[in-house]
Structure 1
Amino acid sequence: MDLGAWSALEWLALAEYELLLFAGAFFLVGALDEFAMDAAWGWLRLRGRAKTYTVNRSDLRYRALSGPIAVLIPAWQEARVIGRTIAHMVEVWPQDGLTFYIGCYRNDPATVAAAMEGAGGDPRVRLILLDRDGPTTKADCLNRLYAAMEGDELRSGKHTRTVLLHDAEDTVDAAAIALIDRSMDDCEFVQLPVLALPHPASPWVGSHYVEEFCESHGKALMVRDALGAAIPAAGVGCAFKRDTLGVMSIGGEGPFAGLSLTEDYELGLRIDAAGGRSRFLRVRGDDGALVATRSYFPATLRGAVRQKSRWMHGIAFQGWDRLGWSGGAVEHWMRMRDRRGPLSALVLLTGYLLFALALLLSVLDWAGYDRPWELTPALWWLLALNMAAFGWRAMMRFAFTAREYGAMEGLRAVLRIPLSNVIAIMAGRRALFAYARTLRGAAPQWDKTSRDDHPAPTLGEPAGSVR
């Protein structure tokens, strides 16, 4: 065969054929993985092992705590949101056993001022000014807050029972703190659901997180919990027994891995590996609202790509390096799902290239230049199975989103699928390049994403009953 004599049309047709085989095969593998998760969730629901319980909000809001709880909140350049976060927390969590540790940097006076204003003189709020310029990493800030908590324990003689993590932009649920306190009686780590709120100023980019968290925290984490797999900490709404963190210190720096870009995710898996009991706590109030941490997510394309590339770098690349593969078959499955992000980005990119090429060849076909190949029965079935899988995936995305935010948001979730894929592709490229730099000796770079908007003023009364 004289390849040099091939026409441009024949080369394009060959590229289309090869891309179709690659993308079709890997899309089908991914679809089978997702269908297995859907089937596991459905089976567990039928057996009553993936149940969302209901609690009385009034009974929980003012329930006394079983022991002191420290809330750690790192903050770098968060002047626009930190004040509202603190003001909301101290209002809806009135318990005396709480201490809020807010980590600020000496070269960020705006955040310091906003945090002080949000505290409103509440004696439970401790502003910790780090003795170095920011930004460092989130793990470094958390370790310094943890050290400040230890210092307070030595001075007061009171031992903290629970350590709770939150971010500077979070809106907490009024029932959450008592629910966490009660749940720590029989486990070492508790994770509450996280709900991304539809962003009024960014209905496409900022709101595409909505459906992702609705599915992951409405299905995947419930399956992990029910099957006994390790539960990764989400970094917010996650609580740990103080004594457990005390034995998780890494090289004397503290319990949070300073070199990890996803120290929260890693900590959840490390606790499970050490034999700690974990629990994903999905509960609704008697008003129907999920007891969860709510917030807006990055509203710009650049911010979303930066954030997701950090997640992908930390979970997929660093997770493989730092945590490896341990546990049984279920744990291997879950870690594979966690780390498939870069491969998924490549497959998605291939799919979009295939779409563009198929469109070009269709135009040429319409102009009279016939394709030099035809679909075989095997390829036809491959395409048909992929189309059916996409329809199923869209239906599931609609259902989980509509359950929390109604049918219109569920429909928008389906329409946002192409944009979500583009963001994943861009994040995958950025994460791969960042990881490659670390292989050449560069330190991991913490791509922090700042938020300009906070939902607390729009939540209504009482603040903790937002749906």
Structure 2
Amino acid sequence: MIDLLLALATYQRVVEMLAVGITVLILVASLDDLLVDVWYWLRSLYRWFWIHARFPRLKAETLDAKPERPIAIMVPAWKESEVIQAMLTTSNTLIRYSNYHFFVGVYQNDAETIAEVESAMARFGNVSMSVVPRDGPTSKADCLNVVLAGILSYERRTGTPFLGIALHDSEDVIHPYELKLFNYLLDRMDLIQLPVFSFPRGLHELVAGTYMDEFAEWHSKDLVVREDVTGVVPCAGVSACFSHRAIDALRHQRAGEVFSTTSLTEDYDIAFRLAKMGMREIFVRLPISLVVEAVGPGGMPEITRRSMPVATREFFPEDFRAAYRQRARWLLGIAFQGWTQHGWEGNLGAKYFFLRDRKGLITAPAAILAYFAMFSLLVAHGLFQLLPATERPPYALLDSELYRTLLWVNLILLGNRLAQRTFFTTRIYGIWQGLMAGPRMVVSNLLNFFATLRAAAIFARHKATGKPIVWDKTTHSYPFQIAPDNSLVSSSSTHPGL
């Protein structure tokens, strides 16, 4: 009995030490987030009372008045037969721009996707296909480089150079005004990144809902602050556009390899390469008022006018395993490969955001350890209540005034974290989704934990064996389907609300 009590007391002390360490780590991470919050809101106040008061905001009418110049759209596709034709059809239906051309990259061993793209080419004159002369999957960058070669060949053949080259995935729903905005900005910008948001999901879809919360905050606040501090805008891989000048410079830099085939997040890598060349990058949040059609109660159509950002919208994974595998790929490219390829280069601001990119390697496991420590302390406390008060081991660390102060500070910072996430989710999706942002943070922590484990294991295996990391794609869904008569049919009960 004495040995058992001694073991429990020892276990309690170990968990106490773990709790203190995690509390300090969470405090540091929370102060980091608070700094970004404060910077964003001070910047917003400045722009509201000084910039917007003196200069008129960009209007849709201004974008419409700009003469259209040719823009290419790259779409890499591996095993995308279920969505690629719907994406091309939807885009040709929605986009309020006429001078553009799709260039879809496919693999020679993906006959189903090739057939769907060929069908789209027969229907639309603005779709071309480039076939990767290797069995897939290789890497997304490899596919994109083949697509870019196809664009260059098209320009030489037709004598029509493109003003800019946009980047999208096969699950993207492109905003009607996206190309008009690119057309307006490309005269003075070399990389333009627009927000990416998830389509609204049900309140019960906790995994898919985490993407609503995270992208609403990241692409409304974090990227804004990063651009302001560093001048670098990490490309999101979709809803982005490069000037022809930028593509040419990248092509000459590495003897034709525009996108780095050694990175799983070639879009993240390319933004830093452009910044080193002195290219101008911008993250744009521009609200445009559009008419949105939806199906109301009783199946009656509802037409409303909403002001929403020019942004790409898509469905993110709703399956837990698919979600953490996708996040693992992001971690591999941004944290592990980004660390290897870019180190800590740049000014203090750049180093700070590199640290934010990579801190998840520590904070993701720490969040799960925090749950474990809390549960362990509760169990230990319950067991010790069975003993006489005089025989219960004291909480030497947790009962200190300093630790209680740390807990209160962390509690206040957690309240701020919940308020920030709730605000940005509410602004895009409404109050009910905003109120779910807090509970979904627990799901996010679990996803990030498993993603970190998977990313670390893959990277360790890659370093040990030297084998390349291949394209670990996510299965995609699309809000529209192609009917037998080649018309578009909504795959949900409501219009996605562009």
TM tier, smaller: over 0.9
Deviation at 1:444, TM superposition (A): 2.1
Kept after mapping to 2: 8 A contact 1:296/1:455: no
1:371 and 1:16 map into 2 onto residues whose CA distance is: 13
1:138 and 1:230 map into 2 onto residues whose CA distance is: 22
Partner of 1:372: 394
Matched, 1:260 2:259: no
Structure 1 residues 294 and 314: alpha-carbon distance in aligned structure 2, compared to 1, 3 A threshold: same
SS in 2 for 1:48: helix
Matched, 1:466 2:497: yes
Partner of 1:434: 458
1:19-56 CA-to-partner distances (Å, cap 9, x unmatched) read: 11111001000100000000000110011079898654
Kept after mapping to 2: 8 A contact 1:90/1:119: no
Matched, 1:233 2:252: no
Partner of 2:282: 279
Deviation at 1:198, TM superposition (A): 2.8
Kept after mapping to 1: 8 A contact 2:73/2:102: yes
SS in 2 for 1:416: helix
Kept after mapping to 1: 8 A contact 2:227/2:283: yes
For 2:416, give the aligned amino acid.
W
Partner of 1:444: 469
Structure 1 residues 96 and 404: alpha-carbon distance in aligned structure 2, compared to 1, 3 A threshold: closer
SS in 1 for 2:129: strand
Partner of 1:385: 409
Deviation at 1:168, TM superposition (A): 0.5
Deviation at 1:81, TM superposition (A): 1.5
Structure 1 residues 268 and 296: alpha-carbon distance in aligned structure 2, compared to 1, 3 A threshold: same
| 365-374 vs 344-353, greater mean Cα deviation | 365-374
Deviation at 1:384, TM superposition (A): 1.3
SS in 1 for 2:9: helix
Deviation at 1:149, TM superposition (A): 0.6
Partner of 1:47: 46
| 270-279 vs 151-160, greater mean Cα deviation | 151-160
Q: CA RMSD in A?
A: 2.5
Structure 1 residues 5 and 95: alpha-carbon distance in aligned structure 2, compared to 1, 3 A threshold: closer
Structure 1 residues 116 and 376: alpha-carbon distance in aligned structure 2, compared to 1, 3 A threshold: same
1:135 and 1:199 map into 2 onto residues whose CA distance is: 30
Kept after mapping to 2: 8 A contact 1:82/1:111: yes
Deviation at 1:311, TM superposition (A): 0.6
Kept after mapping to 1: 8 A contact 2:189/2:281: yes
2:189 and 2:327 map into 1 onto residues whose CA distance is: 30
Of the three residues 55, 79, 82, the one matched with 1:80 is: 82
Kept after mapping to 2: 8 A contact 1:61/1:93: no
Q: TM-score, normalised by structure 2?
A: 0.87
Deviation at 1:385, TM superposition (A): 1.2
SS in 2 for 1:224: helix
1:350-404 CA-to-partner distances (Å, cap 9, x unmatched) read: 2122122122113213433734324100111111111111111011110000001
2:491 and 2:273 map into 1 onto residues whose CA distance is: 36
For 2:379, give the aligned amino acid.
L
Deviation at 1:448, TM superposition (A): 1.2
Query: How high is the sequence identity, in percent, across the aligned residues?
Result: 30
Partner of 1:304: 323
For 2:473, give the aligned amino acid.
K
1:200-226 CA-to-partner distances (Å, cap 9, x unmatched) read: 497111121111001110001111222
Partner of 1:23: 22
1:280 and 1:183 map into 2 onto residues whose CA distance is: 11
Deviation at 1:176, TM superposition (A): 0.7
For 1:175, give the aligned amino acid.
Y
Q: What are the equivalent positions in structure 2 for 1:73-112 lying under 5 Å apart?
A: 73-93=75-95, 95-112=97-114
Structure 1 residues 225 and 455: alpha-carbon distance in aligned structure 2, compared to 1, 3 A threshold: farther
Kept after mapping to 1: 8 A contact 2:71/2:163: yes
| 76-85 vs 367-376, greater mean Cα deviation | 367-376
1:195 and 1:336 map into 2 onto residues whose CA distance is: 24
Kept after mapping to 2: 8 A contact 1:64/1:95: no
2:118 and 2:51 map into 1 onto residues whose CA distance is: 41
Structure 1 residues 62 and 133: alpha-carbon distance in aligned structure 2, compared to 1, 3 A threshold: farther
1:58 and 1:104 map into 2 onto residues whose CA distance is: 37
1:39-98 CA-to-partner distances (Å, cap 9, x unmatched) read: 000110011079898654466469642x32110000111122212211111122354421
Kept after mapping to 1: 8 A contact 2:104/2:129: yes
Of the three residues 427, 442, 450, the one matched with 1:403 is: 427
2:135 and 2:51 map into 1 onto residues whose CA distance is: 46
2:113 and 2:35 map into 1 onto residues whose CA distance is: 45
Kept after mapping to 1: 8 A contact 2:96/2:180: no
Deviation at 1:187, TM superposition (A): 1.2
Matched positions, count: 461
| 273-282 vs 5-14, greater mean Cα deviation | 5-14
Structure 1 residues 94 and 268: alpha-carbon distance in aligned structure 2, compared to 1, 3 A threshold: same
SS in 2 for 1:129: strand
1:323-362 CA-to-partner distances (Å, cap 9, x unmatched) read: 1222222111111111212111122132122122122113
1:51 and 1:293 map into 2 onto residues whose CA distance is: 26
Runs of 5+ unmatched residues, structure 1: none
Structure 1 residues 420 and 455: alpha-carbon distance in aligned structure 2, compared to 1, 3 A threshold: farther
Partner of 1:328: 347
Deviation at 1:443, TM superposition (A): 1.8
Q: What are the equivalent positions in structure 2 for 1:103-122 lying under 5 Å apart?
A: 103-118=105-120, 121-122=123-124
Structure 1 residues 453 and 152: alpha-carbon distance in aligned structure 2, compared to 1, 3 A threshold: closer
Q: TM-score, normalised by structure 1?
A: 0.92
Matched, 1:338 2:341: no
Structure 1 residues 201 and 223: alpha-carbon distance in aligned structure 2, compared to 1, 3 A threshold: closer
**Structure with greater Cα Rg:** 2
Deviation at 1:453, TM superposition (A): 3.8
2:122 and 2:422 map into 1 onto residues whose CA distance is: 42
1:25 and 1:454 map into 2 onto residues whose CA distance is: 44
For 1:12, give the aligned amino acid.
Y
